[in-house]
Structure 1
Amino acid sequence: MWSFKRLLALPTILGLLSSAYGAFFYPNTQASLLEHILVDTHGAHSSGFADAITPCTNYVSGNQSMGRTTAAQWIRVAFHDFVTADVASGTGGLDASIGFETLREENSGSAFNDSFTFFRPYVNPVISTADILALSVVMSVGNCGGAQIPFRAGRIDATGGGAFGVPAPETDIPTTLGFFSGAGFNQVDSIGLTACGHTLGSVHHGGFPTVVGPEAVSSDNLAGGIHFDTTVANFDPLVVHEYLNGTGQRGGPLVTSFNVSSRSDLRLYESDNNLTMIALGEQGTGFLNTCVGLLQRMIETVPKSIVLSDVVTPMEVKPINASLDFDSKGNLFFSGYIRILTPTPSSPPSAPAFLTIASTTPIPLTPEPAQGQSIFGTTAFYPFATKVIDAGSFAHFSVTGHGSHITFPVQTSAFVVPSLTSVSSTSTTILNFTVATRSRVAPTVKVQVPVGQQGTLGPAIKTFDNVAVNNTGRKAGYELWAGSVDVGALATGALSVAILDGEGKEVDVGFF
């Protein structure tokens, strides 16, 4: 059983609720939280993540007249993080080391710190900055007109800067292809990945004055950006066609720059006599699927020690904040939401749904009026709350309706108590928590907190093991144990409280 509470003064990973809830996460905590960001993009209970790239012309980090777009920034940051990988030795790739490398000349521009500043509140003990960076590529492409890239989780953040080796506008072809080759991409792959990455965004005089001249700067283009193609915020094949046909932006400033030595895209595209670009142009909309394959390979290039998860896929029926807690009279209650996703273009469900605890009478569910929307379809949210008479026999619950009957397991031996847990932040973050157990033996509790670290805007995870707890009473057959942690710094995102068994495995984790 897992719990989550909105962290004060920070955007919440689960945008559903503004007060403390203990929630079961399905299929597991990490996948559930990332699926929420991926699917709950707009409308009711959205995570807020996709707001940064809605519309795709948006620049979330500053003045809309800068001429920058956040979706293009996210793809660029991920590319710079990836391309210094050494696949032969199994090092580098998508590991968020780019956060430590922003002062390097090869990482010119504001995209890196812009992106990590936005990502910070979404990073917690089970979601790394590297996973958020990979997810940002998936969402930028999918929400801006491209095809959906499969997303796997499990990346681990680097603790320092990685290797040098990002191609620059002036880099010669042998060196450029050598950088790509080190990251596992051959010449054809390198040309394709560059074309895919450059279907969004621009090059700016502010970051690259040797590529774009000062004449590009204007009152509505303060950073002096010149687009790669004429659909700067649409993920489409136009960058390829405009390059081949000499129309529109003709492939962008890395093809057409006044400075011949800065025409890196032109040198790359011409390195095989344009054969790859011609083949990409002949694919039509199939170009989007080619980009899916290349970009998936890019974000899945990780250190050899990392094993990525199964693909995180939208759940059509998903419990949200399905929670155990005590009411004011000490009774045990189970409450939360059931989210039902109706894939596009089907109509949202009109028939009732039911929730059943063990073999008790089914509880009818009525959806909230507000719905959510995403590229995956429409989401409806069904709140529920019911008293638990016998926690010992409560091992699962079922959701019936809309053509399905799905059973979800629960465990009730121990849980973090949401209503008796709070977080305060002044000069430091202080967590006061209570856990409930059936055992009269004091539980082992671990607390983890994302905090700032020197050299990068990506958080580090600070761990407190064997946190002391005191027995404070008994409710509904459970012993209550209270503890407190002064983090010694301000938390940057959601922190966790874990109850461990005798083997050190997590019995329950609460997020706050």
Structure 2
Amino acid sequence: MFFKFLIFLSSLALAVDPKTVFDSNGISLWEKIEELERQLLDTGTLSGLVNPCASNSFADPNEGRQTSAEWVRIVFHDAITKGIAGPGLGGLDASVSFESERAENAGGKQFINVTIAQFNVFQSVYFSMADLIGVGLITSLATCDGTHKLLPLRMGRIDATGPGPAGVPGPADTLAFSLAAFNRAGFSQAEMIQSIACGHSLGGVHGKNFPDIGGPFRPDSGPDPANLDPTNTFGRKAFGTTPAAFDHLGIAEYLDGTGLKGGPLVVGLNDTENSDKRIFKSDGNVTMNALRSATAFRNTCFTVFDKMVNTVPAAVTLSDPVVVRPWTMLESQLDLTSTGTVNFTGKIAAHGTPAPPSFATYQYGTTGGGNTGSRTSQVGVVQPGFTFGGGQPAPTDSLYIGLGVIKHYPFWDALFEPVNSVSITTSGSTYTGDINVGIFVIPSMSFFQGTDIMLRVAVLSSLTTSSSVINVIAWSRVAQTNSLAFRIISTTQTLTFEKTVGSYKIYKTTLFSGLASPIFQASLGTNKSSKVKGQVFKTPCTAASIGLC
């Protein structure tokens, strides 16, 4: 039996129906789209690591590293080897996570391993590492761009299980080698120039990784030579005078010979390694001149980065570009009390400019076609966002990624009536989603003890027989050799009947052990529960054995 829970979401006019495309784990593109929306509307996720644009997350600020620039660089290093192993093979598939030791990925222990470690916190059955690399790109560009434009991302990338072929162009490679690499990956000469010029709007070259190009740097051990700058220990030389702004000014400096004149890959002392100069002037600076204005730079760069982030293996089916909807469900779960009452709780998320209203209003529809009357969420909480200074969040953009003011609306309801839907109608919009109260994981009756979990599932007694088999599948993360990206595995267990509570039979299992960041789904034949993240099991087991909880 299904009761429909609806947070009404406007339908998307998609060329690919995301509800009909599933990956090898049985997860649909639609579920991945919703997870992307939740990621972008949650202030505790990736966007905070690149705000402000000059941030050097989780590293010594004197190293001169810039997280936003590293997140852009890793996309290029992952995607550009498409086609080397054969037509349709390679592209943005997170194979770069296995390639940090390669010479062509100089500084890989910093920009690859650190970046993958920043992303893997959010990796799950919904979110591949390759998709997270894409999220890193769009949040970096949105944070660093003066208009905070958020590039709509497609979802559905599949992670490689090992390294890809070598072949990333480097500073000392010839123009012919670089052009061949870009052509093989599907990029024209003009797009090659655009990709390099746009990417090198951010960051710079570090002498630690490129001693012939970057400035002097302090070794990892030993005293500093007297003439070295202790605030730039990796010896960074910026590409332009605004390395923490995604803008066109570096283009003008190159064309006009002003400022940093295009940076260390244009005017470096070793002309063999002035790869930017070779690439930029390869068409007589026609492409560079076309990037001179702020508008042309922004439009062209977002277009070429959109192409690069969607350079994927031919076997991958991507969703249509995802535009974050004005209203969505940030989190929700069903629960069962000790007396058999079903509770439904969660948070609704909204964003926009001007700010969304103070409350979300909604009503439950009943099985007879009526409704339970209007209800109101708790007051919407404006997300604090991040600040560039002054201690106050931006008044019109909570996260500086172009989504405007973000609010979270907590809600809680006990479901006593035979409802089959709940509609939320706020600011003239209506959104929908489903939930199954016939079978669901019970957070308040599930416990953890170390790495062991006691899991309980509620099933309406009317759906069961004496021979009913209740299974639960758990998706979790496991480490991989030579990569900081995780691999997703699944485990299935059969539950045993424990007791009856109200209209529900309770089933349990204690066999889950050592699962990292698990996500659960229970099933009775083809009747499947909503998926539940193990993090909602907030109650630790204090008994001597998890089996007693």
TM-score, normalising length: structure 1: 0.87
Matched, 1:332 2:342: yes
How far does residue 370 in structure 1 lie from its aligned partner after superposition?
Answer: 4.2
How far residue 446 of structure 1 moved from its aligned partner, in angstroms, is: 1.2
SS of 2:62 mapped into structure 1: helix
Query: RMSD of aligned C-alpha atoms?
Result: 2.4
| Residue correspondence of structure 1 range 293-442 to structure 2 within 5 A | 293-341=303-351, 343-344=352-353, 346-350=354-358, 352-358=359-365, 359-372=371-384, 373-374=398-399, 375-390=402-417, 393-425=418-450, 429-438=451-460, 439-440=463-464, 441-442=468-469
Q: Distance in 2 between matches of 1:484 and 1:72?
A: 45
How is 1:87-486 mapped onto 2 (pairs within 5 angstroms)?
89-109=87-107, 110-145=110-145, 147-214=149-216, 218-281=229-292, 283-341=293-351, 343-344=352-353, 346-350=354-358, 352-358=359-365, 359-372=371-384, 373-374=398-399, 375-390=402-417, 393-425=418-450, 429-438=451-460, 439-440=463-464, 441-465=468-492, 467-486=493-512
1:271 aligns to what SS in structure 2? helix
Give the letter for the 1:183 counterpart. Answer: A
1:508 to 530, 536, 541: 530
Tell me the percent identity: 32
> How far 1:28 sits from its partner (Å)?
4.2
User: Shift in Å at residue 104 of structure 1?
Assistant: 0.6
Alpha-carbon shift at residue 399 of structure 1 (Å)? 1.1
Deviations 1:26-55 (A, max 9, x none): 994322221122233xxxxx2332121111
- Are the counterparts in 2 of residues 395 and 412 from structure 1 also a CA contact under 8 Å? no
CA contact 1:195–1:240 (8 Å) conserved in 2: yes
Q: Distance in 2 between matches of 1:309 and 1:250?
A: 40
Q: CA deviation at 1:238?
A: 1.2
| Cα offset, 1:260, TM superposition | 1.2
Shift of 1:64: 1.0
| Distance of 1:314 and 1:56 partners within structure 2 | 22
Q: How far apart are residue 215 of structure 1 and its match? A: 6.6
> Which range is displaced more, 330-339 or 401-410?
401-410
In the comparison of the two structures, how many residue pairs are matched? 472
- 1:311-330 CA distance string (max 9 Å, x none): 22222122332321012433
Instruction: Please name the residue that 1:496 is paired with.
Output: 519
Find the residue that maps to 1:92 and give its secondary structure. Answer: coil
Query: Equivalent residue for 1:35?
Result: 37
The aligned counterpart of 1:17 is: none
Deviation at 1:279, TM superposition (A): 1.6
Of 99-108 and 307-316, the range deviating more from structure 2: 307-316
Relative to structure 1, the CA distance from residue 55 to residue 451 in structure 2 (aligned partners, 3 Å threshold; closer, same or farther) is same
Alpha-carbon deviation of 1:423? 4.0
> Could you tell me whether the CA contact under 8 Å between 1:339 and 1:382 is conserved in 2?
yes
The 1:210/1:431 distance shift into structure 2, 3 A limit, reads: farther
One-letter amino acid of the structure 1 residue matched with residue 205 of structure 2: V
Determine the C-alpha separation between the residues in 2 that align with 1:274 and 1:156.
37
Shift of 1:407: 4.1
1:496 Cα offset (Å): 1.1
Between 1:46-55 and 1:225-234, the stretch displaced more is 46-55
Distance 1:120 1:406, change over 3 A: closer
Deviations 1:257-311 (CA, angstroms, capped at 9, x unpaired): 1111110111111111211111221x43221111111001101011111101132
Residue number among 36, 47, 62 corresponding to 2:59 in the alignment:
62
Does structure 1 retain, via aligned residues, the 8 Å contact 2:340–2:503?
Answer: no
Kindly state the Cα deviation for residue 424 of structure 1 after the two structures are TM-superposed. Answer: 4.5
- What is aligned with 1:86? 83
Q: Runs (4+) of structure 1 moved beyond 6 Å?
A: none
| Contact 1:211-1:262 within 8 A present in 2 as well | yes
Q: What are the ranges of 5 or more consecutive residues in structure 1 without an aligned counterpart? A: 4-24, 41-45
CA distance in 1, matches of 2:28, 2:485: 27
Question: Aligned partners of 2:32 and 2:39: how far apart in 1?
Answer: 11
Contact 1:200–1:228 (Cα < 8 Å) also in 2:
yes
Which deviates more from structure 2 when the two are superposed, residues 212-221 or residues 236-245? 212-221
Give 5+ residue unaligned stretches, structure 2. 6-26, 219-227, 366-370, 385-397, 535-549
Change (3 A) 1:263 1:445: same
Describe the shift of the 1:423–1:236 C-alpha distance in structure 2 as closer, same or farther (beyond 3 A).
farther
Change over 3 Å in CA distance of 1:487–1:206 after alignment to 2: farther
Q: Equivalents in 2 of 1:370, 1:422: separation in Å?
A: 32
Cα shift at 1:382:
2.3
Return the alpha-carbon distance in structure 2 between the equivalents of residues 284 and 312 of structure 1. Answer: 25
Query: Any idea what SS the aligned residue of 2:444 has?
Result: helix
Q: Secondary structure at the match of 2:357?
A: coil
Q: Is the 8 A contact 2:382 2:406 kept in 1?
A: no
TM-score w.r.t. length of structure 2: 0.81
